[in-house]
């Protein structure tokens, strides 16, 4: 059985960057992703502050679909408050970004296993066993980056159970409209728009 220094479960941005960083620092790393293709479906509004992104990774221009400099907040009564300044925000192409991050990890020496669902993790004397439906992998350390729906953390003693009040639903749509301000993100609250929640408009350009 191959023994890796680090096994990373989940090839989203967090998992891919962690795997890539570890490999660049000399670790033997494997990266598992249950889906055949990373980044699909997109489960993100795709808006992020420039600083929040650049503090962690170097963004490629091809990821950036639009750049905004302000946010317009609309209250339930229709009052609009504009928040802006020198800070830029990016509207991303997450599908492209996620794919490129995995490719960067592979280029750094990470062994990538797509279509590989890790169903359980077991602590053993030499580290951890990551068990998939096809085979078992062993690593000295494990990084669990499989998202908010993770069930693997429980195998290591972490309580990840969510109460019903912490679970929300969401909807996403791509809309073409000449009335959308391409330089602003918009944030709405109120029962007339999103009862009990909120809504965003991210101008993707």
Confidence class for position 139, pLDDT limits 50, 70, 90: very high
Does 33 or 173 have the greater pLDDT score? 33
Contact between residue 46 and residue 93 where contact means Cβ atoms under 8 Å apart: yes
- Which range of 39-43, 109-113, 201-205 scores highest in mean pLDDT? It is 109-113
pLDDT value at 161 more than 90: no
**Same domain, yes or no: 166 and 155:** no
**Same domain, yes or no: 199 and 98:** no
- Structural domain count of the chain: 2
pLDDT value at 158 more than 90: no
**Same domain, yes or no: 121 and 191:** no
Residue 196, phi then psi, degrees to nearest 5: 80, 0
**Same domain, yes or no: 35 and 120:** yes
Task: Name residue, tokens 């503090």.
Answer: 55
**Same domain, yes or no: 84 and 128:** no
pLDDT of residue 99: 96
Please indicate, yes or no, if residue 35 is contained in any of the structural domains: yes
pLDDT of residue 125: 92
Please indicate, yes or no, if residue 52 is contained in any of the structural domains: no
Contacts of 126 (CB under 8 A, 6+ apart): 3, 138, 140
Handedness of CA 160, 166, 172, 178 (dihedral sign): negative
Q: Give the CA dihedral 45, 51, 52, 53, nearest 10 degrees.
A: 70
Quote the mean pLDDT of the chain. 91
Q: What is the DSSP letter of 15?
A: H
Please indicate, yes or no, if residue 53 is contained in any of the structural domains: no
Range of the domain at 23: 1-46+93-159
pLDDT of residue 144: 96
**Same domain, yes or no: 110 and 34:** yes
**Same domain, yes or no: 115 and 37:** yes
Please indicate, yes or no, if residue 170 is contained in any of the structural domains: yes
Strand partners, 129: 122, 138
Element (H, E) at 111: strand 111-113
Contacts of 104 (CB under 8 A, 6+ apart): 16, 20
- Asked which of 22-26, 41-45, 51-55 is least confident by mean pLDDT, the reply is 41-45
Rounded average pLDDT over 3-32: 97
Q: Check which CATH number belongs to the domain holding 19 and give it.
A: 3.50.50.60
pLDDT of residue 4: 98
Please indicate, yes or no, if residue 51 is contained in any of the structural domains: no
**Same domain, yes or no: 32 and 77:** no
pLDDT of residue 187: 94
Rounded average pLDDT over 9-37: 97
pLDDT value at 93 more than 80: yes
The 10 Å CB-count burial string (b at 16+, else e) for 105-123 is bbebebbbbeebebeebee
Question: Which of 128, 143, 159 is the last residue in one of the domains?
Answer: 159
**Same domain, yes or no: 178 and 140:** no
pLDDT value at 42 more than 90: no
pLDDT tens digits for range 97-138: 999 999 999 999 999 999 999 999 999 998 999 999 889 999
Question: Which of 159, 176, 194 is the last residue in one of the domains?
Answer: 159
**Same domain, yes or no: 107 and 180:** no
**Same domain, yes or no: 84 and 103:** no
**Same domain, yes or no: 149 and 171:** no
pLDDT value at 57 more than 90: no
């Amino acid at each position: 059985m191959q023994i890796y220094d680090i096994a990373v479960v989940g090839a989203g941005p967090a998992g891919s960057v962690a795997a890539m960083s570890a490999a660049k620092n000399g670790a033997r790393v494997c990266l598992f992703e249950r889906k055949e293709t990373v980044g699909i479906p997109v489960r993100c509004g795709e808006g992020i502050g420039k600083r929040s992104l650049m503090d962690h990774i170097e963004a490629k221009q091809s990821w950036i679909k639009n750049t905004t400099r302000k946010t317009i907040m609309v209250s339930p009564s229709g009052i609009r408050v504009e928040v802006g300044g020198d800070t830029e925000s990016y509207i991303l192409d997450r599908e492209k970004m996620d794919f490129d991050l995995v490719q960067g990890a592979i280029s750094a020496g990470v062994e990538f296993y797509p279509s590989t669902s890790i169903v359980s993790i077991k602590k053993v004397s030499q580290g951890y066993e990551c068990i998939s439906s096809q085979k078992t992998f062993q690593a000295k350390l494990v990084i669990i980056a499989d998202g908010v729906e993770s069930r693997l953390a429980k195998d290591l003693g972490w309580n990840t159970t969510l109460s019903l009040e912490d679970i929300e639903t969401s909807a996403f749509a791509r809309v073409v409209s000449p009335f959308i301000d391409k330089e602003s993100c918009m944030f709405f609250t109120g029962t007339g728009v999103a009862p009990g929640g909120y809504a965003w408009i991210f101008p993707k350009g």
